[in-house]
Amino acid sequence: MIAPQGTPTVAELPGLLLPELFVAAGMLLCMLSTLVPAWRSSRLSLWIAVTAALAAFVSALAPSRAALEPMLALDPIAGAARVVITGVLALLLLAGAGERRTAADHDAWSTCVLGTGLGAMLVSSASNVVPLWLGLELVSLGSYTLAAWLAGDRRAAEAGMKYVLFGGTASGLMLFGMSHLYGLTGHLDFLGIGQQLAREMPVGVVAALVLAAVGIAYKLTIVPFHFYAPDVYQGAPALSVAVVATLPKIAAAAVLVRALGLAVPSGLCAPGQVGAVLAGVAIASLGVAAFTALAQRDARRIIAFSGIGHGGTIVLGASALPGADATAAVLLYVTAYAAATLGALVCLSVLEREQGSSALAALPGAMQRKPWVTSALCLFLASLVGIPPLAGFLGKWSVLQLALHGGPVLVAGALVLLATTAILAWAYLLIVRAAVLAPAPQPERAPVPVPVSSAIVLGVCAAATLGLGLWLDALPALVRLVQP
């Protein structure tokens, strides 16, 4: 695991936390914009948020290796996660500028999205359970609001309620486990917990660790903390789903890698007990995702169930820790997943504005009405399946290589990943068949133009999906990045 080099002085803190400061400043400005009557009816707050996210993205590109002991670790894992989070955040807000151009609540929506992004950045840098919990709560507060954004819509209300109930339960269990973990080890920081567990690891500590990990499992939507996902993905607005599906998963993957490297004794990692347990969880998530996705008749529900499988794949890659190759594989996979999922959900958002639904029955004729958007949707779904030469294939291949060289349970996980990938491919083909092959209904609805900002987002996501897949040196480059 990477050890951050150097503790910064107080004068250096603003420079190290510049991405977070830009996002926080954007949140503040968006909230203040509600006090100016002339700004309420304009989209100024949206463009303020886009500018803040872009500034955070540019500042996150600067490499840093420091520790704000004992709370945050600005190591290469956090650096890579911050770049991906701020990039996705900027694209989400840019898509909102186009897809929500007729809405009157830009300031509140932008504030919630920026808040979710800020929480994700805090989680990805956490090396202590206190900022981990605070970051997850910040992510949750924004996500709860976004999930139930459509006031008066029954499905949105149901989505928001289920998200809050499951999220509150997960948060309570996590906090309960953290409190016991502190009582049993005397430490809140990952490194201190790991040093204590290296000496002894009684059953009570194992139970506390499992409970403390519930919050991360909830954000990754892995079994058995996945039940909220289908209804939230179907009932919430498509862009809200894009926020919930990408930012929390990126952050959870980053902190999972760091926590396994620091808080869990290396003797228990793959092919030992912890790696085997994580691989078992991954197998369960992949199996549930594959067989339930086939039964769905809504494109967003299919993406929701497949997201459970992608969370399982992330955990399967993490089960091969410790090692720079496993860390790099997880980061590569979650980046490829985020690009494809964001692109697919923006495509569905564009199609839904015309058809009013993401049900498979509403997609026939999409290829005739929106050929470029439908083609982009097929590209993103192909990447989620793992078809070469797209980014999803490179990420999935990296995880497979690690699992096949692990213990028996990891090898079984690799075989399950191969089998469930084929099943999920059939589920994705249900969307492709409805959008591309099914005849258009008569009479057709009036076409709705694609906003320029949405087209830009789709172009960036497609370029990232293709470019990352064609960059065959991506994994070795990430390995070099995360090595001590």
Please provide the average confidence, as pLDDT, over all residues in the chain: 85
Question: In whole angstroms, what is the distance from residue 95 CA to residue 112 CA?
Answer: 15
Mean pLDDT computed over 318-326:
84
Mean pLDDT computed over 297-316:
92
Summarize pLDDT for 209-268 with one digit per residue, the tens.
888 888 889 889 998 888 888 888 988 888 999 999 999 999 999 999 988 888 776 655
Summarize pLDDT for 169-182 with one digit per residue, the tens.
888 899 998 998 88
φ, ψ (nearest 5 deg) of residue 407: -75, 180
Summarize pLDDT for 389-428 with one digit per residue, the tens.
999 999 999 999 988 888 788 899 999 999 999 999 999 9
Residue 209: its pLDDT value, please?
85
pLDDT-derived band at 136 (thresholds 50, 70, 90) equals very high
pTM of the model: 0.91
In the chain, % of residues over pLDDT 70 = 90
pLDDT over 90 (residue 66): no
Q: Of 349-358, 362-371, 460-469, give the range with the top mean pLDDT.
A: 460-469
Summarize pLDDT for 21-43 with one digit per residue, the tens.
999 999 998 888 777 776 665 67
Summarize pLDDT for 271-291 with one digit per residue, the tens.
467 788 888 999 999 999 999
R_g of the chain, CA atoms, integer Å: 21
Residue 272: its pLDDT value, please?
63
pLDDT over 90 (residue 321): no
Residue 246: its pLDDT value, please?
94
pLDDT-derived band at 1 (thresholds 50, 70, 90) equals very low
